[in-house]
A and B are shown apart, each in its own frame.
Chain A
Amino acid sequence: MARTPPAISIDGVSKKFVLRADRASSIKEAFLRRNKTESKDFWALKDVSFDIPKGSFYGIIGHNGSGKSTLLRLTAGIHKPTTGSITTNGKISALLELGSGFHPDLTGRENVFLNGAMLGLPKKQMERAIDEITDFSGIGEFIDAPVKVYSSGMHVRLGFAIAVHVEPEILLVDEVLAVGDEAFQRKCFDHIYALRRRGTTIVLVSHDAGTMESLCDEVAWLDHGELQAVGEASPTIEMYLGRVNEQENKRLIAEAEAKELEALAETISVDDAERRGSGEIRITSVDLLGPDGSKRHSALSGDPLTIRLNYEAASKITHPVFGLGIYHENGTHLSGPNNRLAGVEQPVIPKGSGYVDVTVDRMPLLDGKYFITTGIYSADLLHCFDSWDRSNRLIVQPGSSEERYGMVEFGANWSEAVPN
């Protein structure tokens, strides 16, 4: 079966940058340090190969320094691969960075013609498009002012207006759409969709999983210059997020270990939290436990979680009530469970230490940062033994929950549309 050739074919591409401390810029210098080359090689991309099909909305995802922007610059032809090759099939328009392709001393209008010429479009053709470009960008009379006086928003708007009006067959976009107000962004996306309907191949580079998932058909995931996965957007992005969470967790553990070294009793407690109460019984620390009982430094949305409250009783305490307060980092009080509300009475607690487990089968909080307040009250709730306001952080990362907007999982069931 005959297949249409891909819009972009990336074949075994590696890119080496040579980092030099100080480059010889005169002949004298070049002779003087002939043999003293203080250069360091840096491989931004290592043997990357994949095809971007024609007419697709393709995403390249990865954290900062993953090589995704380098790959885009190679595709745009700004740099040459050290090894391997990139074959492109169609006229390329690129939106790579702020003011990309603008000459600061020329006016907006002159830059429009210059940009058109760089894509091989004669002046006449650009003259027909200039009014449309000016309108779209909304920069008005600034079109005749030098680009160096433009605000960053105007830069992006003019750049985008040009990029979509030169009728590219391939459009490369590097996170620039994040700039500009909401209205303009919407206008941009409308235009991108229109281009797409006309068969333009669009390649978007970003580290933002949400945008990528909602826009892209297929995604390539890069990490430290190496291709990790390629394929349909959702599963690939999920893998990427999995790695991000893993690394975040590692980072938190490392941070916590560093804190332990500083002899802090609580790994994730907040130092300046307000504490009150008579202190006959006190919470000594709060641990987060995974379903396997191992200590965690963050919770996963939708996954089982145990919050272990470790206490130290200075004397015998009769039927105390343990309570929790869950706060969003913006201060919103989300929940306030205690064992009595849950229908559990605490026994008489002997002098000494112990713990109380608070277990949820599904962590209802979504990805975000929260605080935990702990409290122990007398059986009649009139006396406070210990109340520690927002003493512990609760970091929640995306887990098995499918929901992603807001703070809590709604967990609703949806019906299909029922026409009346």
Chain B
Amino acid sequence: MMTNPDRREGSNFIPLVINFAQREMAARYKRSLLGWLWSLLNPASTVLIYSLVFGVFLRTEPPETANGQAEIFAVYLFTGLVVWNLFNGVINGSMDWLTGVMDLRKKAYFPTETAILGGAIAAIVQTCFEIAVLFVLMLALGNVSWTFLLLPFILLGAASFGLGIGLVVAILNARYRDVRYLIGIVLSLQFFLVPIVYPIGLLADPEVDEFGVPLTEPIDTYGLPAQEIVRWNPVSEFVQAAHDVVYFLEVPSLGRVAIMLVAATVSPALGLRYFRKRSMEISEEL
């Protein structure tokens, strides 16, 4: 028995999620010469550009890897970038995935969150390629351990956290078209509030000698609690956890795991609640 509007109960919408996911994957590189190769070339070019700017021009020093050999900025950058790309991709994509099915939804019933879920799955599939590249890279550097196996869970958590936010902004964007631009600004700011292009140690208080004199000059943050902002940012936790398991080959701290767990569960739960409450209204706007 299905009751309007809660007719989701008893209906199987998994095929629809799969359909949307397949379509998103097919559409992503349709009519492009290199096709799926782009999913590797895109992050590769990003890594190249950021490595050039931050690693070469600004001489950002990456922390040492677990085996203490490599100090390649590009590898450090790529590790964080994999997490960020997924998080960012899900939020930005959510707005497109919803607007992409609105016309269809006006003519036939289906829960629109399936389109966003399908899109998120497509984004996760693409991330799998990046994980593979990262693994090969680390293997070449001789910097691998079983902790690498934790990376997929961290990425799923980041995707889930992003999905919750994506569900909310998708609704807002369907209502006000300028939400997309606002989100773009917030996300580019957020990118630099997360230790991707710099090591978290950069913001830490400098080490002191036995007399309490700093060994290096502290960074001037103009009175902003930069360290706190970065530290208390949930996205930072996901990025740092990726650094932990891939770069330092450590198990993330319990506190970090707890924050990630909360972010990965509370965000989609609240997001879905909000989405379901508002999606009917959105589809009735003619």
Contact = CB atoms under 8 A, between A and B. Distances in A.
Interface of A: 5, 17, 23-28, 30, 74, 76-81, 85-89, 92, 94, 96-97, 99-103, 106, 110, 113-118, 120-123
A100 B106 CA distance: 9
A27 B18 CA distance: 34
B75 to A, nearest CB: 40
B16 A118 contact: yes
B108 A120 contact: no
Interface string B17-28: 011000100000
Per CB-CB distance, the 4 closest pairs between chain A and chain B, nearest first, are A77-B109, A101-B108, A120-B12, A117-B19
B4 A87 contact: yes
A80 B111 CA distance: 13
B107 A120 contact: no
Contacts of A92: 109
A80 to B, nearest CB: 5
B13 interface: yes
A179 to B, nearest CB: 16
Interface residues of B, number: 31
Given A103-B104, A123-B18, A79 B284 contact: yes
B280 A80 contact: yes
Contact of A80 (B4, B14, B110): B4
Nearest to B178: A26
Nearest to A118: B110
Nearest to B100: A103
Contact of B107 (A5, A78, A81): A78
Contacts of B105: 78
Nearest to B11: A120
Contacts of A17: 284
A163 to B, nearest CB: 11
A78 B109 contact: yes
Given A99-B107, A120-B12, A122-B15, 7 more contacts: A17-B284, A88-B3, A94-B109, A101-B104, A110-B23, A113-B19, A120-B16
Contacts of A86: 3-4
A85 B107 contact: no
B185 to A, nearest CB: 13
A27 B178 contact: yes
21 contacts: A5-B1, A27-B176, A27-B179, A77-B4, A78-B108, A78-B109, A79-B284, A80-B4, A85-B3, A88-B2, A99-B107, A101-B104, A103-B103, A103-B104, A114-B23, A116-B15, A118-B110, A120-B16, A122-B15, A122-B18, A123-B15
B16 A81 contact: no
B223 to A, nearest CB: 31
A102 B18 CA distance: 17
A74 B3 CA distance: 11
Given A28-B178, A30-B176, A118 B108 contact: yes
B177 interface: yes
Nearest to A86: B4
B114 to A, nearest CB: 9
A114 B24 CA distance: 13
Contact of B13 (A28, A76, A120): A120
Contacts of B23: 106, 110, 114
B283 interface: yes
Contacts of A101: 104, 107-108
Contact of B177 (A25, A87, A121): A25
